[in-house]
Amino acid sequence: DKPGRVWSREQLLDRVWGRDIYVETRTVDVHVGRLRKALCKHGGTNPVRTVRSAGYALG
């Protein structure tokens, strides 16, 4: 997709876990935090940007 596109938590839940399973929206926040930590662990950059009241964007 386009760099900088904002994905809502609900959109990410649907894409990652699908619609047939119930997962709390805060689960996305936890996984994004883990992703950021892993990417930055060895000096990498954090491409994930939080967009307040909207979701997350890459790039």
d(CA 24, CA 42): 30
pLDDT band at 34 (very low <50, low <70, confident <90, very high): very high
pLDDT given for residue 31 in this prediction: 95
What are the CA-CA distances from residue 16 to residues 12, 20, 44 (Å)?
6, 11, 24
Question: To the nearest whole percent, how much of the chain has pLDDT over 70?
Answer: 98
Q: What domains appear along the chain, each with residue ranges and CATH number?
A: 6-58 (1.10.10.10)
pLDDT given for residue 43 in this prediction: 85
pLDDT band at 42 (very low <50, low <70, confident <90, very high): confident
Find out whether 35 and 48 touch, Cβ atoms under 8 Å.
Answer: yes
pLDDT band at 9 (very low <50, low <70, confident <90, very high): very high
* 6, β-bridge pairs: 57
Q: How many residues does the chain have?
A: 59
pLDDT band at 1 (very low <50, low <70, confident <90, very high): low
Phi-psi region at 43: left, alpha or beta (left = phi > 0; alpha = psi -120 to 50):
left
